[in-house]
Amino acid sequence: MSERAPEVVLARHGETEWSTQGRHTGRTDIPLTPAGEAQAAALPGMLGRWNFGLVLCSPLRRAQQTCALAGFRDRAHLRDDLMEWAYGDLEGHTLEEWHATHPGWDIWEQGCPGGETIEQVGDRADRVIAEISAAGVDTVVFAHGHLLRTLLVRWLGFPAKTARHFTMMTAAIGVLGRDRDDRVLERWNVSSAQI
């Protein structure tokens, strides 16, 4: 029997006040809510089957709290490339609020005024993928919704803007792997509530 290829587990941070309100939370460094802390504390039960050789984490507080509550604080390597999309002028706004003054605007096509384009987010995801691929070990990544969705589609070789077709709940995980020479999606948007 051949040896299993290394897997990559993507873990979104737990709930924050802004995530419950649908506010774009890029670089605003807010903490988890008590419910978000409980979500993060449930992650060890979901992550126990892996022996991670590499733990990567966004430096933003909500991701670091999730990483710590999942039991990986002492092993985490912080990477600026894992920070959430820099939303610029959109930061703190809901989509409904933004559309009231910018009708027809689409984040995936037009990016964020004063922030990043989706291609720039994709470039950051590509750098993270290069590090993971070079390590060649099971890896867990603690980060943010839009960033992790972008990392998924870049892993699969799709343009970054195809991340629009995936969603990810707070404290959910996705598992990336390989089938022979192909990078594949094994599981997506799995939460402790579903187990």
97 pLDDT higher than 80 = yes
Taking residues 72-82, report their average pLDDT: 98
Residue with tokens 């603690």: 142
Tokens of 10: 């993507």
Distances (CA, A) of 85 to 68, 69, 106, 138: 22, 23, 14, 25
Tokens of 78: 């912080």
How high is the pLDDT of residue 3? Answer: 78
- pTM for the predicted model, two decimal places: 0.96
Q: Was domain 8-194 assigned CATH 3.40.50.1240? A: yes
Of 61, 59, 56, nearest to 11 by C-alpha is 56
How high is the pLDDT of residue 4? Answer: 85
Q: How far apart are CA 143 and CA 67, in angstroms?
A: 9
1 pLDDT higher than 70 = no
Exposure of 194 in the CB half-sphere (CA atoms within 13 A): 11
pLDDT category at 193 given cuts 50, 70, 90 is: low
What is the percent of the chain where pLDDT is above 90?
Answer: 95
Helices (H), the chain: 17-21, 34-41, 43-47, 61-69, 95-101, 107-110, 118-135, 145-155
Q: What are the helix and strand counts (H, E) for the chain?
A: 8, 6
Of 150, 157, 164, nearest to 178 by C-alpha is 157
Q: How far apart are CA 25 and CA 86, in angstroms?
A: 9
For the chain, domain boundaries: 8-194
| Residues 121-137: tens digit of each pLDDT | 999 999 999 999 999 99
| Residues 6-54: tens digit of each pLDDT | 999 999 999 999 999 999 999 999 999 999 999 999 999 999 999 999 9
195 pLDDT higher than 80 = no
DSSP β-bridge partners for residue 190: 173
Residue with tokens 């992550």: 47
Catalytic residue list: 13, 84
How high is the pLDDT of residue 192? Answer: 77
